[in-house]
Amino acid sequence: MEETITEGIRVQVESFYLDAHSTPEENRYVFAYHIRLKNLSQRTVQLMRRHWIITDSSGEINEVKGDGVVGDQPVLAPDEEYEYTSGSHLKSPVGTMQGTYQMTSTDGEEFEVTIPCFTLAVPGKIN
């Protein structure tokens, strides 16, 4: 599990290969990732936007930007957690994802929270 803490917001990420949804013969490798956010700060914050950078082992880079996560813009009071699972697909059996969340505090301050770089890999493809 990968983890970062930025501005008092902890982000933990774990990824999984979804063999049943993948078709390697068509260069389609599907992954899920589970994210747990925890507000370690003393202020209430809201996740407004996300920005992902997805890179596969052939060097292809895709950027994904949008409002919130999985259709939600969660509000986290101090010590609250929020978890979600989402997915991504690659054209190669190995890649990485990383990015940022744009957050806003109740006092109107906007700040970025780092999503740690994590590996997407078909089991056995990385020693």
Q: Does pTM surpass 0.75?
A: yes
Q: How many CA atoms lie within 13 A of 74 on its CB side?
A: 18
Q: Are 50 and 69 in contact (CB under 8 A)?
A: yes
Query: Token digits for 32?
Result: 């899920």
Nearest C-alpha neighbor of 94 from the set 119, 124, 59: 119
pLDDT above 90 (res 126)? no
pLDDT tens per residue, range 21-33? 999 999 999 999 9
Cα separation values, 112 from 51, 64, 95, 109, Å:
10, 16, 23, 10
Q: The domain containing residue 85 runs over which residues?
A: 2-121
Structural domain contains residue 126: no
For the domain that residue 75 is a member of, what is the CATH number?
Answer: 2.60.40.1470
pLDDT tens per residue, range 52-69? 999 999 889 999 999 999
